[in-house]
Structure 1
Amino acid sequence: MFCFLIDIITYMHSNTFHIIIGPTIVKSIYSGELTYDSDQFFRTGNTNSYYYQAIDIIVNITGNYTVKSNSTIDTFGYLYIYSFNKTKLSINQVTKNDDKSGSLQFTLISALQSGVRYIVIVTTYSPDVRGPFSITVSGPATVGFHVNTAATKPSSSVTTTTRTTTTTTRTTTTTTRTTTTTTRTTTTTSKASTTSTTST
C-alpha cells in the first residue's frame, strides 16, 4: 500500500491532509485446455491418468501474487519453484490447493520474486478428466506465461489492470497564539539647586 502525508501549515492554523492510495492490482489471464494429448502423471494413487499442463510464470516485479483457476471441471493446482518433476511431486513444491476458490476451483497464494522460475501445474481432482480452463494471476505487476508441456492446444493470455479507490481523510487543527504585553514604568527625579547671595 502506498501512503502519502502532506502537511500544510498556515499562520494561526494547522491543516493536515492524510491521503491514502490503495495498491494497484494487475491481473494476467492464461487460457488453455487439457486434452488427450496433454501430459499425464501420478497425482495420487496408482493411476497415471491425471492430465496436466505446466505453465511457467514469468515474474517482473517481486511481490505477493494470487493464482486462481476458472473452469467447468474440478481443477487441482500446484505451484513449484525452479523446476517440476512429475515423478517426485514434493520436490520444489511451494504450495498446492484444491477448492479454495469455491466452485471446485483452486487458489494459490505466494510471494514471488523477480527473476526466479515458477511453475503452475493445472490438473484435475479426479483422473481421466479433460476440458478447458483459465488461470488468473493477480499481483503488483503483469506476469508472463510460457507453456512447457510437449503437446498443448493453442491458448491465449490477456492482461487487465484494476486500481483501488482512493480515500482522503482531512483533519483540521486550530492553534491559538497568546501575546503578552509588558509595560515598563520610568520614574524621573528632579534635583533642586539653591543659590546664596552675600551683600557686603
Structure 2
Amino acid sequence: YYGDSLSCSSSTFSRWSSTNDHGCYFYQANRIETSMNGFYTFFDNSSMDTIGYLYNNSFDPSRPYLNFIAPNHDGATNLQFRMSYTLQSAGSYILVVTTRRENVQGSFQITAVGPSSVYFYPTAITTDYYQLCDSCKKSRSIKKKSIAIVV
C-alpha cells in the first residue's frame, strides 16, 4: 500500500470533470509500476471524500483530459474511490488522488491488489501552467464602495 496526505503544500489544479468547475483542488500524482501484466484494483482509505484519476504516461494539470484513462469517485464504501484496470508491466501510469470538494486536507492510503506488487512513486509534475488560486488563504470578503446621493 501507499500512504500520503493532501495539504496546503500539495499541488493544486482546476478539475475539468464538471461544467464551470474552476475551483482549486489539492492533488497527489503517483507514477505506478508493476512487474507483471494483469488486472489491478486500487482502493483508497481516507476520512476525505476522494477521487482517483488514472492516466497513461503523463499527467498535465493544465490539460487534465490528456492521456486520461479512467476516473472513480465512489466505487468503494464511505465516499472512497475504487478503480480497476488492466496494466502492462512495460506501461507507464499516473494515479492522481484528489478530493470531491476543494481545499480539503487530510491523509489517504491506497491499496493495490493484482497479480504482482505495485510500486508507487510520488511524482512532481512540471507544467507551464499558471495556477490562479491560493487555496490555503482564508476567504476574503469583497468590499464595495457605496455612494449615497441624498436630494
Measured after TM superposition, the shift of residue 102 of structure 1 is 1.6
Matching of residue 108 in structure 1 with residue 99 in structure 2:
no
Deviations 1:91-140 (A, max 9, x none): 11110010010200001110000021111000000001010001011000
Q: Distance in 2 between matches of 1:73 and 1:131?
A: 7
From 55, 60, 63, the counterpart of 1:80? 55
Bigger CA radius of gyration:
1
Q: Distance in 2 between matches of 1:142 and 1:32?
A: 18
Q: Distance in 2 between matches of 1:87 and 1:97?
A: 20
Q: Secondary structure at the match of 1:119?
A: strand
RMSD of Structure 2 on Structure 1 (CA): 1.0
**1:36 matched to which residue of 2?**
8
**2:121 matched to which residue of 1?**
146
Runs of 4 or more, structure 1, over 4 Å off, are none
Q: Distance in 2 between matches of 1:135 and 1:55?
A: 11
**2:141 matched to which residue of 1?**
none
Letter in 2 for 1:34: L
**2:34 matched to which residue of 1?**
59
Q: Distance in 1 between matches of 2:88 and 2:106?
A: 31
Which of the two has greater strand per residue?
1
Q: Distance in 2 between matches of 1:83 and 1:33?
A: 21
The total of aligned residue pairs comes to 121
Q: Distance in 2 between matches of 1:93 and 1:102?
A: 24
TM-score, scaled relative to structure 1:
0.59
Measured after TM superposition, the shift of residue 43 of structure 1 is 1.3
**2:69 matched to which residue of 1?**
94
Contact residue 80 and residue 94 of structure 1 kept, 8 A = yes
Deviations 1:132-163 (A, max 9, x none): 0010110000011110137xxxxxxxxxxxxx
Q: Secondary structure at the match of 1:69?
A: strand
Name structure 2 gaps, 5 residues minimum.
Answer: 126-151
Q: Secondary structure at the match of 1:140?
A: coil
Letter in 1 for 2:6: L
TM-score, scaled relative to structure 2:
0.77
Q: Distance in 1 between matches of 2:114 and 2:54?
A: 15
Q: After the TM superposition, which residues 176-195 of structure 1 pair with which residues of structure 2 at under 5 Å, given as runs?
A: none
Contact residue 38 and residue 149 of structure 1 kept, 8 A = no
**2:131 matched to which residue of 1?**
none
